[in-house]
Amino acid sequence: MKKLGFIGGGNMAEALMRGLIETRMFAPADLIASDVDPARRLKIKRKLKIDTTADNREILRAARAILFAVKPQNINEVLDELARAFAAPATVAHAARGARPARPIALKDRLFISIAAGITLGRFMAALGDRARVVRVMPNAPAMVGQGMAALVRAPGASKADEAFALRIFRAVGDAVAIEDERLLDAVTALSGSGPAYVYLFVKALADAGVTEGLPADLAVRMALKTLRGAEENMRQSPLDAAELIRIVASPGGTTEAALRKFAESGFSDIVARALHAAAERSRELGRG
C-alpha cells in the first residue's frame, strides 16, 4: 500500500509532496493524489512522478494515511463519499469479475490528516465515527518554499504515533508543533495561518512609503525584504526579547524613535490585535459551519 494519499492536489498539497520527496521521507512510489482537475493531476504526475487519480475512493483503498487538502466548503461532500465507502462491504468491480470480494476497509486501519481551515475534529468524527484516527493541522503558505509553520491537534481516536507521523510530514516543509486544545487552532489560524498576508502587507507599506520618499520602487522592495529577513534572523539568534531589541535600535531623539512614536499614535499594536481577533472569529465561524 501507499504510505500517504492526498485528496486534493492544490498548491499546498503539491508543496507537501515535494518536501516529502526532497527530504527523502517518502519516495514518489509511496504517494498518491486525487484531484478533480485533470490538468492538476497531469502536472503533479509529471513533476513529482507520483500516481494520481480522479477517484477519492481510490485514495482510501490505496493509502494507509489520507491527507485532506480540499477547500472547507467541499469537505462535507468528500466526507460523505468516504463514509459511504467504509460502509460498502465490497467493491462492485470485484463482484462483477467473479473474484473473491475485497476485504472491507476498516476505519482503524486509516489515519486522516486534515488541513481544511476551520473544519473541526468533531465534523470529521460525525462523518467517520468517534473512533476515527484524525489529526487536524493548520499549516501556512511559506510551506511552499520550505519555511512553513504548522500546529496540529489529534482526535481521541488518534495515537501519539499518529501525531508523530503528522509532525514528520509538516516538518518536511518547515516547522510543526502539537497542541492539546483544539480551540487554540483558531488563534493559530489567525497568527501563522493568515500571518504571511500581514507580512506582505507590511512590506508593501514599507516599500510604498520608501517610494514616496524618493526611492526607486525596485530598490524599496529589495531593501524592505532584506531588512525583514535580517531583523528576523537577528531576533532568532539574540537572547534578548523584542522590547529590548527595539530599544537598542531606537536611540533617544533619533530617527527610529520618531517613527515608533507615529506607530504608537496610530494605535499600531491595537490594529494588529483587532486584525488577529477578526481572523480568529472567522475561523470559529467556519468551524461552526
Cα–Cα distances (Å) from 142 to 31, 194, 208, 250, in that order, read 22, 11, 23, 30
Return per-residue pLDDT of the chain as tens, 289 residues: 789 999 999 999 999 999 999 999 999 999 999 999 999 999 999 999 999 999 998 998 899 999 999 988 888 888 888 888 777 654 444 444 455 555 567 778 899 999 988 889 998 999 888 889 999 999 999 999 999 999 999 999 999 999 999 999 999 999 999 999 999 999 999 999 999 999 999 999 999 999 999 999 999 999 999 999 999 999 999 999 999 999 999 999 999 999 999 999 999 999 999 999 999 999 888 777 6
Among the residues of the chain, which ranges form H helices?
Answer: 11-22, 38-48, 56-62, 75-87, 92-97, 121-128, 160-171, 184-188, 195-212, 217-237, 242-249, 255-265, 268-287
Q: CA angle, corner 182, sides to 122 and 174, nearest 5? A: 115
Question: Which residues neighbour 233 within 8 Å (Cβ) at sequence distance 6 or greater?
Answer: none
Domains (range + CATH), the chain:
4-184 (3.40.50.720), 195-287 (1.10.3730.10)
